[in-house]
Structures are given as structure tokens and as C-alpha cells.
Amino acid sequence: MEEKNRLLQIVLLAKEKQKEGTCLKQEHVEKLLNDRMKIRRVSKNEYITTEYMEEKKVYYVLSGSFLMMRTSKDGKNNVMDLKQAPQFLGIDKAVMPEEDYTFSDNLAKESCLVLEIDREYFIRSLKEEAELGFEIIKVLCRRLVNASYRADRALFYTNEEQLMIYLMVYWSNHHGGQSECTVRLKNSYIAEEIGISIRGFYRTLDKLKKEALLTVVKGNIVVTQEQIKEMSARCGDFMNYKYHFE
């Protein structure tokens, strides 16, 4: 009972820190570890997991952000999402037959604190601890909802609206109470994320620059609080009920 309770405590602690807007530190977690869990630090631009990793683990990213991406045999990248901790990785491998789950590489965009959980221990904990199972269900539901929103954006919104929505989401996750936020991602990543060609992306970027909705500094998009408010007003209710902008 004690072991599975420790995993649940870590999940609830990460959730609490997220609500507070504070960073979960290694010392917060170390006292809750057991012989089926360990913690490691992944540096910026290093991989948290790759499709070739064969360790039977489930990963819980406790702090930081990372890119979920797939790479083709000829080296092309498909950036599926930019994720902010806390996030689970490897649940599908833990509960599904090998032929049914998908692979992705997960690249740290900043230093990430990662909890490695023995897969058998994770499954046993899910079966024995109802509250932990409920937290995992909420995680999966959020992913389904986000996938639905992504499909809606592709169908219902122009390139300009899609980029504005992307920037508003990025702002809500990264501005940290500041009046200005720099998007520290390659433009090619952003174009792939919102599903438009790189040429279409630069046309869209130029249009929004001319409308004073963003600036570009040293190749990075920069947005202010006032620009985000204007984007929110233009994109309407779609964003208002999902994201709150300070």
C-alpha cells in the first residue's frame, strides 16, 4: 500500500504546484521515491525518451517543457505538440499491445525533471489505487479534448487565426506574469504545429507584423499582453472558454 501511495502523492504534489504556478523541485520528490521509481534531470535539447528506448518505464515529466515529435527515415520531423509539465509519457506502451501503440521522440526545450516509474509497478498502482486511476483518466481526457481543438482549428480557422491561437496558448503557458513573452521555438516547428507550410507561415507572420499584433526580435516572435488581448478579441469565444488571459 505504501508504494502506490507514494506514486499518488507525487502526482497530487505536481498538480498542486501547477495550480500554485510554482516549480516542483527535486527535493520535493526525493523523499517520496521508492525502489520502483527514480528521478533524473534532462538538459535542454536532450531527449527525454526516443522511440528506440526499450526500458519498460512510464515517465512523468515533473517540470519543464518538451516537444513531442516523430522523425521519418529520411530525417523529416513532424512536431506534434509542445507540452508543459506535468505530463505522463509511455502510458500507451504500458497498457496496450505493442502493435497498437505509437512512437514519439520527446525533446526537452528546457531543463526537465523526470520521474521514471517501473511499468509493472505503474500498472499495479492503477489497479489498486482508485484515486490515481482517476487522475490518469483526467490526463487522457485532456489529451482527447486538445486533439479535438487542434482538428477544429484546422477546419474552422484561417492561417492568421491559427497562429494567433497558437501564440495565445504559448502566452498562457510561458509569460510568467511578465508583460512580454518571447516564443523560443524555431519557426519551422511552429509552422508544423499549426499545420501550414513554411511559406504560408512567413506570409502569415508578415501580415500579423503589419497589423502590429507581434514583433520579431533576432528571429523569435515576441508578443505583449496588449497584443494577446487583441488576438483574443479577434478569435472570439473559441478561446475565451478554454484559456484565461491575465
Beta strands in 33-188 (DSSP E): 37-42, 47-49, 57-63, 65-71, 77-84, 87-89, 105-108, 112-118, 180-183
CATH number of the CATH domain containing 86: 2.60.120.10
pLDDT of residue 176: 75
Question: pTM for this one?
Answer: 0.75
**SS3 state of residue 196:** coil
pLDDT of residue 101: 61
Asked if residue 191 and residue 169 are part of one domain, the reply reads yes
> Cα separation of 159 and 156, whole Å?
10
Task: With residue 128 as reference, give the H or E element that holds it.
Answer: helix 119-128
Report if residue 245 sits inside a domain.
no
pLDDT of residue 245: 34
Asked if residue 164 and residue 147 are part of one domain, the reply reads no
Asked if residue 167 and residue 135 are part of one domain, the reply reads no
Q: Domain count of the chain?
A: 2
Task: With residue 67 as reference, give the H or E element that holds it.
Answer: strand 65-71
Which grid cell sits at 58?
512510464
pLDDT of residue 23: 79
- How many Cα neighbours within 13 Å face the side chain of 172? 17
Q: What is the pLDDT along the chain (246 residues), one digit of tens a residue?
A: 455 579 999 999 998 988 887 878 899 999 999 999 999 999 999 999 987 776 789 999 999 999 888 777 676 667 777 888 999 998 888 887 665 566 778 999 999 999 999 999 999 999 989 999 999 999 889 888 877 777 777 788 899 999 998 999 889 888 877 899 999 888 988 988 888 889 999 999 999 999 999 999 999 999 999 999 999 998 875 554 444 333
Q: Which domain holds residue 131?
A: 2-151
Report if residue 6 sits inside a domain.
yes
Which grid cell sits at 158?
484561417
Asked if residue 146 and residue 34 are part of one domain, the reply reads yes
Asked if residue 143 and residue 189 are part of one domain, the reply reads no
Report if residue 246 sits inside a domain.
no
Distance, C-alpha 157 to centroid of its chain: 22
Report if residue 226 sits inside a domain.
yes
Report if residue 38 sits inside a domain.
yes
> Cα separation of 237 and 112, whole Å?
33
Asked if residue 190 and residue 86 are part of one domain, the reply reads no
